[in-house]
Amino acid sequence: MSDPLLRHRAEALFARLQDEVCARLEELDGAARFGRDEWRRPGGGGGTTRVLADGAVFEKGACNVSTVWGPAPPALVEHLGVAAGEFFATGISMIFHPRNPHAPTMHANLRYFECDGGAAWFGGGQDLTPYYLYADDVRAFHRNLADCCARHEVADYPAWKAWCDRYFHLPCRGEARGVGGIFYDHVRELEPMLAFSEDFGEHLLAAYAPIVARRRETPTTPAQERWHLLRRGRYVEFNLLYDRGTRFGLQTGGRTESILVSLPPRVRWDYLAEPAAGTPERELLDLLRGPPRDWL
């Protein structure tokens, strides 16, 4: 059975991380600020949705926290795969869409669940979605994750990296959504995972912020921007067709604005938009259609 205070410690951690991440992103953007939208959930709990829009560096960014509880609906029981009459859940999720096609999109989330009867666990992850491949950037991103996992016996970078590669995949396209990261769920070593979540959360931007800083001023062309919006379309496809959290939230009457806040503001779909051989666009696509790469 979990420590009855652990839920409050996790909730406080996620609220602190939201403030720290938003402050760092505002500093990196240099122009826009995150708004604050407090909302309540009928039945128990609520959250804070924070969105940055039309910034100098980020076209859109969102960093959300929520803490909800109450009777477990049948869809939740099916989704979690455990018997539950009551549940408690708290978490933080974030997504950042830079303006420049050479700067990647980043997504991350950390979450904690409890069910009556004593079942409790942590889940989460972080992944990177580039539009142009800079191998050094991807290696630095994965190295940051591997180093964080290495500091905690409970963490398993190779297994969680493989889980991320399997999860963030579009079967209808035969493509990975991006270059992966880590993904984990139902980890029940609670105190070690709370310590990992704090370390992980405090280092979410350690590799990503320098990548954005390096790529934010890279010259771009209209053709590169077109490719950027096409690849954002793949991001939308994954979130709406395959992402378990998005589908579950929409199917169970969750707060739609907070669920869909991860979607980019501009996107396009072009028919048979296959890049030519030998181009940077084809290089990325060939990578995404091939087997997962060991970036370390």
Task: Spell out the residues 6+ positions from residue 296 whose beta carbon is closer than 8 angstroms to its own.
Answer: 139, 142, 143, 146
H-type helices in the chain, by residue range? 6-29, 74-80, 135-150, 157-167, 190-202, 208-215, 222-241, 244-251, 256-259, 280-289
- Size (the chain), residues: 296
Measure the CA–CA gap between 271 and 269, rounded to whole angstroms. 7
Bridge partner residues of 66 (DSSP):
47, 91
Torsion sign (Cα): 283, 140, 95, 193: positive
H-type helices in 48-176, by residue range? 74-80, 135-150, 157-167
Measure the CA–CA gap between 212 and 25, rounded to whole angstroms. 10
Measure the CA–CA gap between 85 and 234, rounded to whole angstroms. 37
What does the DSSP assignment read for 251-271? HTT--HHHHGGGS-S-----T
Q: Which of 107, 152, 169, 186 is catalytic?
A: 107
Asked about 97 being catalytic, the answer comes back as: no
Pairing between strand 169-170 and 175-176?
antiparallel
Measure the CA–CA gap between 107 and 15, rounded to whole angstroms. 17
Active centre residues (catalytic): 107
